[in-house]
A = this chain, B = another copy of it.
Amino acid sequence: MKTYINPPKSTWSEILQRPGFSVVELKNQVQAILTEIKTDGIQALRKYTEKFDGVILGDLAVSPQEIEDAGNLVDPILKNAISIAAANIQKFHESQVPQTKRIETTTGVTCWQKAVAIDKVGLYVPGGSAPLFSTVLMLAIPAKIAGCREIVLCTPPDKDGRINPTILYAAQLVGVTQIFKLGGVQAIGAMAYGIDCVPKVNKIFGPGNQYVMAAKQLVSISDVAIDMPAGPSEVAVMADSTANPAFIAADLLSQAEHGPDSQVVLVTNDHSLIEKVVLELSRQLKELPRKSIAEKALANSQAIVLDRVEEMIELINGYASEHLIIAMENYSDVSQKIINAGSVFLGNYTPESAGDYASGTNHTLPTNGWTRSFSGVNLDSYLKKITFQEITCEGIQNLGPVIETMAAAELLYAHKNAVTLRLEEIRRKQ
């Protein structure tokens, strides 16, 4: 970690510059694959699956038998853990169900907003070194609560054409309706266009590498909505002298082990803390299977001392971190002033990994500074809010003249006339 002691404000954004993550350079390459998928359909999906996943695909769809077999392969202790995590995620996302409120804005004019599920959603779960069944829970549970009719999941097959059994087990547990053996750009293209047995969905969710992200952004221009832009994972820790250096080191390492491009930032008002954390980092690193990945991530990371808590808060809001741990005595006060963050972990006994798996909050969060304008995945992500209005004869008599005046001032006389005709008819009937 690079250390900075009270760096002047003018240098903050440079110090906190994220590792390059740009989809711009990949756009042409990814667009070419997407176009080929749109044109050649299943053939292109097979071609790129062979190329990128190293397997010649049989059926795209995972069969009921494969799902049943998977259930028998998962350790009962893990099954139990998954069911506890799923229950917490369920409970927290159920608490987000919006209520419809009817508002009479003018006498006789009633308006309301109704939340309706997005009909078909597509979930992407990356492959790679770790079987991310937790992402299945995070993406599918709110989809089910929202009432999405079709919940489609794509995840890449291994070299034998199989999907990790825990991913299949989690998917059937939480109500995914169809699972396909597709990864990368192939998965995004198939769900965006509807290819072969893969249905065209209305919105695509889930994390992925730069290629997946580029594909999601490209299909979002004309074909399908997406959850959010994303980049490599990141955590910021705010700590004071009451923080535990071993806990902080462990939290920084949980982020760092995600990938060499992960970023971790430590901000503290305690000058002596950084040294203790660095010592703990080297001690804990030794034991980690993913040591070399974590080391690379740490090399790009920052430890910053700022004497004033207000400055710590300002820097953290400017950085707009995906995950934020506040290990400070007065974490409650500090947390009230946080305006840019994805998910916030309060106090010494709230590790980021709690939110990654089981506290109940969602772990699919905006990165790369997008917490300035995006929420993490939550129940709302699977809902649209349709507005309704119902106006009585009395209502249009009350509000009609206002509409007529405004429409005329905007030179939209047909808009005005739609009111005038109704008011005339009411007058005639009276």
Residues of A whose CB lies within 8 Å of any CB of B are 22-24, 75, 77-78, 80-82, 84-85, 87-88, 91-92, 95-96, 98, 101, 103, 105-106, 109, 111, 113, 116-119, 129-134, 166, 202-203, 217, 220-222, 224-225, 229, 244, 246-247, 250-251, 253-254, 256-258, 284, 287-290, 294, 335, 338-362, 370-376, 378, 380, 383-393, 395-396, 399, 401-403, 405-407, 409-419, 421-422, 425-426
Is there an interface contact between B134 and A406, defined as CB atoms closer than 8 Å?
Answer: yes
**Complex Cα–Cα for A287 and B412 (A):** 12
Is there an interface contact between A422 and B349, defined as CB atoms closer than 8 Å?
Answer: yes
Is there an interface contact between A96 and B109, defined as CB atoms closer than 8 Å?
Answer: no
- Min CB gap A263→B, angstroms: 15
Central interface residue in A87, A359, A396, A418, by most chain B CB within 10 Å = A418
**Complex Cα–Cα for A341 and B349 (A):** 45
Known contacts A288-B414, A351-B422, A407 near B357 by CB under 8 Å: yes
Is there an interface contact between A388 and B224, defined as CB atoms closer than 8 Å?
Answer: no
Contacts of A416 in B (CB 8 A): 353
Is there an interface contact between B389 and A359, defined as CB atoms closer than 8 Å?
Answer: yes
Kindly identify which residue among B203, B355, B373, B418 contacts A384, using a CB–CB cutoff of 8 Å: B373
**Complex Cα–Cα for A353 and B224 (A):** 29
Contacts of A244 in B (CB 8 A): 425
Contacts of A134 in B (CB 8 A): 406, 410
Contacts of A353 in B (CB 8 A): 403, 407, 412, 415-416, 418-419
Contacts of A75 in B (CB 8 A): 409
Contacts of A111 in B (CB 8 A): 92, 359-361
Number of copies of this chain in the oligomer? Answer: 2
Contacts of A24 in B (CB 8 A): 221-222
Contacts of A129 in B (CB 8 A): 411
Contacts of A257 in B (CB 8 A): 412-415
Known contacts A78-B409, A359-B111, A373-B203, A346 near B388 by CB under 8 Å: yes
Question: What are 12 of the A-B contact pairs (CB < 8 Å)?
Answer: A78-B405, A78-B406, A84-B106, A88-B399, A96-B113, A106-B358, A109-B360, A129-B411, A254-B415, A342-B386, A352-B415, A375-B383
Kindly identify which residue among B340, B391, B414 contacts A349, using a CB–CB cutoff of 8 Å: B391
**Complex Cα–Cα for A103 and B23 (A):** 38
Is there an interface contact between A289 and B413, defined as CB atoms closer than 8 Å?
Answer: yes
**Complex Cα–Cα for A395 and B348 (A):** 12
**Complex Cα–Cα for A256 and B413 (A):** 11
Contacts of A256 in B (CB 8 A): 414
**Complex Cα–Cα for A335 and B389 (A):** 11
Contacts of A131 in B (CB 8 A): 409-411
Contacts of A347 in B (CB 8 A): 390-391
Contacts of A294 in B (CB 8 A): 414
Is there an interface contact between A389 and B250, defined as CB atoms closer than 8 Å?
Answer: no
Is there an interface contact between B290 and A409, defined as CB atoms closer than 8 Å?
Answer: no
Known contacts A354-B396, A406-B358, A410-B133, A401 near B81 by CB under 8 Å: yes
Kindly identify which residue among B350, B370, B399 contacts A354, using a CB–CB cutoff of 8 Å: B399
Is there an interface contact between B202 and A373, defined as CB atoms closer than 8 Å?
Answer: yes
**Complex Cα–Cα for A75 and B406 (A):** 11
Is there an interface contact between A95 and B103, defined as CB atoms closer than 8 Å?
Answer: yes
Kindly identify which residue among B77, B81, B360, B405 contacts A103, using a CB–CB cutoff of 8 Å: B360
Central interface residue in A106, A253, A341, A371, by most chain B CB within 10 Å = A106
